[in-house]
A and B are shown apart, each in its own frame.
Chain A
Amino acid sequence: MPTTSTQSSILEERQKLSKVMPDIYELERLASQTRRDIVRMVHAVQSGHPGGSLGCTEFFLALYHQIMKPDAKNFTMDGNGEDVFFLSNGHISPIWYSTLARYGYFEVSELNTFRKLDSRLQGHPATEEGLPGIRVASGSLGQGLSVALGAALSKKLNNDHHIVYSLHGDGELQEGQIWEAAMFGAAHKVDNIIATIDVNGRQIDGDTKDVMDLGDLSAKWKSFGWDVMEMDGSSFESIISTLTEAKENHLGKGVPVVVLMKTEMGEGVDFMMGSHAWHGIAPNDQQLEAALAQLEETLGDY
């Protein structure tokens, strides 16, 4: 039995650790359930985008549960006094909706309405139906970085020292507006934004290197004046430690931050990995069964 003082120092140590390395086990369990949500949502309406959603599962869960920790019960469009997030590649809406629901923005049962008539869970994220957690529509690619930069400037004007996060697909970087925004972010020293790029190397028509080679992304962003970081999108440890490091030691230095996040499209479902095939198609009944067999139901299906 350790002494009381030793106990308290162990607790302090754990507390410190938990700031950067929280309970990964709980997040892993949540990730498995979230992946079930994604394939079940897409299967139910035989449409939607499972590939990128599965690949970004760890990112979304780490961002909401460990990095931003927004107030789900008191969502405001303005997001004053809290970190805000923008999804630029809106087609991976299933992962966002599941994250928002299980974080507490709305009832998990509402996931059942995805892509159906009269739903707040539109095929691509929208504000029109008033779904809490969403601040701008996305789907037409390339627009989210501009919006996120505007929101970051708004925070600066309001003396709100919170952070703006955004996520973009790598294929999306083929849109010219992204590079307009990249120039703008550096020129205006928007140093309260962390933009993450989902580098899965795939897009609808094939591998990005074949469809429209993106070249050296790290060099491109650096030359546009951004502080470039990298992380492993399949690892909670990597995501949490990288985003924490970005937040604590890279922001506020007059330079915007971009994180190149290596992921695998379809991550967690073996037959959806390794190609671009599952970018935007839904599993049939047998495929759903095969996918769910690989994903433990940890917290209960919606």
Chain B
Amino acid sequence: METSTQPMYFEKLSDDKDTRSGFGAALTELGKQNPNVVALCADLTGSLKMNAFAKEFPDRFFQVGIAEANMMGVAAGLTIGGKIPFTGTFANFSTGRVYDQIRQSIAYSGKNVKICASHAGLTLGEDGATHQILEDIGMMKMLPHMTVINPCDYNQTYAATMAITEWDGPVYLRFGRPKVANFTPADQKFEIGKALMMKEGSDVTIFATGHLVWKAIAAIKELEAKGINAELINIHTIKPLNVEAVIESVKKTKCAVTAEEHQRNGGLGDSIAQALGMHYPAPIEMVAVDDKFGESGKPEQLLAKYGLDTPDIVQAVERVIARK
């Protein structure tokens, strides 16, 4: 399977925007387009940018209070009769807090629930480690039937939100809190399960997801100055992983770097390493959190301290090329 070949841009297309606002805007549009779309929120309507949907479609919006376990069950029940429920809360409360509810009532039961999770990762910032979940991708990708998507910017989050509505089955959609670069086209076609080629290259493949895609773009520019021609692939769908695209790229570049705002254990890097190990063994380096909890701080400070910044990607590329 080849990667998508849409024209991508390495420049900002707007002021910086938060990915959660891309979700909120798409949800409101979905409310207009699809009468079966319903939304549930656990007392974080403003944070999830679900206010507009709640105001425009009050009959299809369910405030569940601070009771996430019940929210997952009610969402599962709403699918019976044909509704397409979107649940909204922080990533921490969308996964770890309600893992058994998701496992039994949604994933094992094959329910068409869209679990929409904001404030994922370190870039939640000052609230600290209690809220900075770095294990959610791992938990969700382990569940059979679950699709796991982590878009990289506002436009891609908007497109992903629209796309998962048409996808029959449970989806975990992960996005974040801070305003970040918005650089993918507003009119992009979001193809679930398809790796997105951002830039072709020959020396190394960088597989990045979420907020780290923009960091990888910055890294590519620095690497070019060092004479390294890196390929960049945006893995917005961590599961199902586009294994063919991963193998095809690494057959060309012979090594890989992964970049994500997540624990190394259980994240995108694990999935890429598994694919390479099974089909095309090659050196791999992972830019991810090294088995630690986060802490309070500003998003950029945290990315730097925990080794998820542009220089970390540059160094990982240099290390992996040396291992070829």
Chain A residues proximal to chain B, CB less than 8 Å = 77-80, 84, 86, 126-128, 135-140, 142-155, 157-158, 160, 176-177, 180-181, 183-184, 187-188
Contacts and interface: CB of A to CB of B under 8 A. Distances in A.
Given A143-B104, A184-B70, 6 more contacts: A136-B111, A138-B104, A143-B101, A145-B73, A151-B80, A158-B82
Interface in B76-95: 76-83, 85
B110 A127 contact: yes
Contacts of B81: 78-80, 151, 154-155, 157-158, 160
Interface string B60-81: 1010110101111111111111
Contact of A151 (B59, B77, B101, B104): B77
Contacts of B75: 150
A137 B74 contact: no
10 contacts: A126-B108, A146-B73, A147-B80, A150-B78, A153-B77, A154-B79, A157-B60, A158-B81, A177-B67, A181-B74
Nearest to B66: A180
Nearest to A188: B62
A177 B101 CA distance: 10
Contact of A136 (B65, B67, B80, B103): B80
B80 A137 contact: no
Contacts of A77: 80
Nearest to A79: B80
Contact of B73 (A127, A147, A160, A183): A147
Nearest to B85: A150
B64 A147 contact: no
Nearest to B60: A157
Nearest to B113: A150
Contacts of A153: 62, 74, 77-78
B70 A177 contact: yes
A142 B72 CA distance: 12
Nearest to A160: B81
A140 to B, nearest CB: 5
B69 A78 contact: no
A280 B279 CA distance: 46
A146 B83 CA distance: 15
B68 to A, nearest CB: 9
Given A127-B109, A128-B108, A183-B67, A135 B80 contact: yes
B82 A181 contact: no
A104 B62 CA distance: 37
B82 A80 contact: yes
Contacts of A180: 64-65, 67, 69-70
Contacts of A79: 80-81
Contacts of B110: 127-128
Nearest to A142: B69
Given A146-B105, A154-B83, A184 B65 contact: yes
Query: What 5 A-B pairs come out closest when comparing CB atoms?
Result: A150-B77, A146-B73, A154-B81, A180-B70, A180-B67
Nearest to B77: A150
Contacts of A158: 81-82
A144 B60 CA distance: 21
Interface string B108-139: 11110000000000000000000000000000
